[in-house]
Amino acid sequence: MFFVVAILKIASSQEYIYQRGLVTLSMGVARPTYGFGNHQGINLTSYAKTGTNITGEVAYFYSWHVGVAFLLSYNVNPIDENRLADGYMDASPAFKTVSATTSPFHDLSAMTGIVFDIPLNEFFSATFKMMGGLRNVYKPTALVQTTTTFSNVDYYETSDNKTVFAFLGSMGTRIIINENFNAHLMASYVGSKINFDYSRNSKQINEEAHIGVLVFSGGVSYSF
């Protein structure tokens, strides 16, 4: 609450440098955090790698530099198949060789919330966002082929698709080009716990995963 009050106080002391509407397009990298990509066990969520992000946003500033915004963000995070194979090797001393074939995680978020855009001088402004909304995460299939001394065993893992509520926090800076255009750099975090339900061969699995993603992005905005 103190943080919000402080931002509002700063905002009210600055001149408004944008028009009321702001459309933003960003691209960047999506880095897995927490249990997402922690390289433990044999679950696919543990072996997600840094992927790509694209984000579109529309904001309306209703009072000075305080506005409401709607955001669509899409991440694609591939899986480190070599590390996944190593995880299977570590799980059983009976395996002689292991190979893994997978497809990426897909992560789509639709969020709305408050955005603060505070001018530091005539060329730069600081941006903060607090948003919440729905997040859909697709867990892909996987085929893991193993050999032992006496036989070959294949492990097929089915996919799952879950939609949950999630929060997003973001901060960054804008570089003012002119009264209509600006460039920006942003760091954002979105996280949520998801219960994936799938099967690995004939075994049913319920996995509670903390899917955290830290996004570093840059892009351009148009004020109207």
Any idea what the CATH number is for the domain that residue 118 is in?
2.40.160.20
Placement of tokens 């903060």 in the chain: 128
Helix (H, G, I), strand (E, B), or coil: what is residue 186?
A: strand
pLDDT of residue 8: 46
CA 128 vs. chain centroid, Å, equals 17
Round the average pLDDT of the chain to a whole number and report it: 91
pLDDT of residue 121: 86
pLDDT of residue 35: 85
For the cut 80, the answer to whether the pLDDT of residue 5 exceeds it is: no
Helix (H, G, I), strand (E, B), or coil: what is residue 124?
A: strand
CA 196 vs. chain centroid, Å, equals 17
**Sign of torsion, CA 3 124 224 9?**
positive
Domain range holding 43? 2-223
Rounded CA-CA distance 129/116 in Å is 6
Q: Where are the alpha helices (DSSP H) in the chain?
A: 2-12, 81-91
* Per-residue pLDDT reduced to its tens digit, 120-174: 888 899 999 999 999 999 999 999 999 998 899 999 999 999 999 999 999 999 9
pLDDT of residue 18: 53
User: Structurally, how many domains does the chain consist of?
Assistant: 1
* Per-residue pLDDT reduced to its tens digit, 93-105: 999 999 999 999 9
* Per-residue pLDDT reduced to its tens digit, 178-200: 888 999 999 999 999 999 999 99
- Burial profile 137-157: b = 16 or more Cβ within 10 angstroms, e = fewer: bebbebebbbeeeeeeeebeb
